[in-house]
Amino acid sequence: MSGDDRALVAQAQGGDRAALDELLRRHYDRIYAICRRVTRNNADAADATQEALMAIVRGLAKFDNRAAFSTWSYRVATNACLDELRRRSRRPTPALVDEHNGWAEQNSHDRTPAFDEQIVVHDEVQAALNQLPEEFRAPVVLRDCGGLDYAEIAETLGIPPGTVRSRIARGRAKLAEILHSGNQPTRGERQNNQS
Amino acid sequence: MNPLPPNADELVSAYLDGQASPDEVVIVESSPKLMDRVASMRGVADLVSEPAAHPAAQKDAHISAALDAFDALFAQDVDQVPLAGPSVLAGVPTSAGHHAAEHDTTSPALDASTISGVTSLATAREQRHPRRFNTGIIAAAAAVVLLFVAVAAFGLGGGEDSFDVASTQSEAANTVADAPEIESFTDGTSESEAMTADRPDIGALEAAPAPTSAPPQAAASQPAEEEEMAADAASDDGGGLDSETGTALATESLALTPLPLFVGDFLDQEALLRALEQVPVDELAKRVEPFEPGFFPSCQQDVPELAATETPTYVGGAFIAGTAVEVHRIGEGDDIVIVLVDPTDCSVLPATP
């Protein structure tokens, strides 16, 4: 994957539109997931994702492959999310439940049973994530969703790696407490139940 | 049965991420309770890592807009062509498009005096370290003195001695010429080193070591203010990191555009501004160069004085007494103006007396 990315990056840097298309499609889901987890609502996540893609396009010419493209792009996305959060702090935040209803109505033509199922599962996880303070949520999301290591998260968020470690631990412990108290099954448990 | 250690969650979490030390791995793996906790946390991590659902139409629209932007950038000089915000983002409801449409940027004449809460670097430098002599005059005088020394040495000895003196003369001239600015940024640090570096040290900006190779003649001709600056830097509590770490971050920041530079943590606003004073003007300019015209990260569009600037102003982030601030730069050359902004509400920090 990483090697393929490298080739696509090189082609895109040379002006290959199709390569960039492939590159963005390959990483879009993860970028959106990070934005969705960090910003906590679909509208802000969509804005942040769009900004992240724009920033990636603008920064691609100077990207030198010293980091994996995925790592770099997730960090760009995180910065876009943090910018979005700053903007959001100055305007009302739509209620999560209403927002999800709106989402479902607005996109009803796109929905499939699988999509519905995903929404339910993610509502549960997102609801649990939403209960975490931002300082815990962002490191957990960057680690589990973005796959960044502690040093990368520390650099992205501007906090020491030791703080990253403790915040991820506390965030995960709190998530486990919330999800288990609500009897939310983990993915493994769900798979076992389905089988 | 052994009770769980007080930092059990941290041990387990680090173990899960492969970030535990060998000793910690032994502790976790030797405890059934901790291994149960590992399983529980792994389940949570798996849930968080699942991709969030989104409608396919949104993905197509976003990527299409990004590709349009790519076309616009690639069709012309990437470094010179501003993005056409609203047209590029047409059909996709983004705040970027909103901002771009909202701010028809013009570039009025820069006047620091009209902006509250900003600090002119040139003024600050003058106030803090008034230049007693013109730098050029100092350099010329030092060169003349050293020329005499070199001639005298050549006449008396020659051979190796003459080479040494000539080298000394060259170093001295360079030292004097470079005296007002501290070149603490260099390239050559790998990204992996930068990423694994611990918390960035404001030493990158505040460590302003006088060149050790300066000969006595040159050292004598430098204003005593350099020592004062070094003492000031040493007294700032936020310091302590070596300049090498800061260099790595600075280099990486440029390479990984458009990520901002993390400036550091400072006791107060004055300490931050003092550190910024020591950053060469060219370096400050480089911080904002990675941001393409038309791309305005952070609070630029929310501060009228910054929004009026056509080009990005965001240099990077910093902390003052643990509180995050955005560092913006406007102006050119000796008219650089630093604006500190509270990122939570995009208000400009009032200048301290």
pLDDT in tens for each of the 195 residues of chain A?
455 889 999 999 988 999 999 999 999 998 998 888 888 778 888 888 999 999 999 888 888 888 888 888 888 888 888 777 777 665 544 433 333 333 333 333 333 333 334 444 456 788 888 888 878 888 998 898 888 889 888 887 888 888 999 999 999 999 888 887 754 444 454 445 444
More confident residue, B85 or B348: B348
- Say yes or no for a CB contact (<8 Å) between A165 and B58: no
**CA nearest to B59 within chain A:** A28
Residue B327 has pLDDT above 50, yes or no: yes
pLDDT computed for residue B102 by the predictor: 32
Tell me which chain A residues have a C-beta less than 8 angstroms from the C-beta of B249. Answer: 155
**CA nearest to A32 within chain B:** B52
Write the pLDDT tens digit of every residue in A14-38.
889 999 999 999 999 989 988 888 8
Alpha-carbon gap: B9 to the closest alpha carbon of chain A (Å):
6
Chain A interface mutation, best of B54, B81, B252, B325, highest count of A Cβ atoms under 10 Å: B54
For the whole prediction, is pTM greater than 0.90?
no
Domain A98-195: top CATH class: mainly alpha
Write the pLDDT tens digit of every residue in B58-92.
899 999 999 988 888 777 544 443 333 322 222 33
Q: Which of B12, B53, B93 sits opposite A119 (nearest CB)?
A: B53
Tell me which chain A residues have a C-beta less than 8 angstroms from the C-beta of B299. Answer: 86
Tell me which chain B residues have a C-beta less than 8 angstroms from the C-beta of A87. Answer: 95, 302
Note whether B269 and B349 are within 8 A (CB).
yes
Calpha distance B318→B269 (Å, rounded): 10
| Residue A110 DSSP symbol | G
- Say yes or no for a CB contact (<8 Å) between A110 and B55: yes
Calpha distance A173→A164 (Å, rounded): 14
pLDDT computed for residue B146 by the predictor: 66
Q: Which of A47, A151, A166 sits opposite B195 (nearest CB)?
A: A151
Determine the topology of domain A1-94 in CATH: Rna Polymerase Sigma Factor; Chain: A (1.10.1740)
Please report, for chain A, the start and end positions of each structural domain, with discontinuous segments joined by +: 1-94, 98-195
Angle at B157 between CA B153 and CA B163, to 5 degrees: 70
Tell me which chain A residues have a C-beta less than 8 angstroms from the C-beta of B54. Answer: 29, 32, 36, 42, 46
Note whether A186 and B47 are within 8 A (CB).
yes
Q: Cα–chain-centroid distance for residue B81? A: 25
3-state secondary structure chain B: CCCCCCCHHHHHHHHHCCCCCHHHHHHHHCCHHHHHHHHHHHHHHHHHHCCCCCCHHHHHHHHHHHHHHHHHHHHCCCCCCCCCHHHHCCCCCCHHHHHHHHCCCCCCCCCHHHCCCEEEHHHHHHHHCCCCCCHHHHHHHHHHHHHHHHHHHHHHCCCHHHHHHHHHHHHHHHHHHHCCCCCCCCCCCCHHHHHHCCCCCCHHHHCCCCCCCCCHHHHHHCCCHHHHHHHHHHHCCCCCCCHHHHHHHHHHHHHCCCCCEEEEEECCHHHHHHHHHCCCHHHHHHHHCCCCCCCCCCCHHHCHHHHCCCCCCEEEEEEECCEEEEEEEECCHHHCEEEEEECCCCEECCCCC
Find the range with the poorest average confidence among A109-123, B87-101, B165-179: B87-101
Mean pLDDT, residues B113-140: 46
Alpha-carbon gap: B46 to the closest alpha carbon of chain A (Å):
7
For this complex, say whether ipTM is above 0.90. Answer: no
pLDDT computed for residue B104 by the predictor: 30
Buried b (16+ CB within 10 A) or exposed e, B20-40: beeebeebbeebeebeebbeb
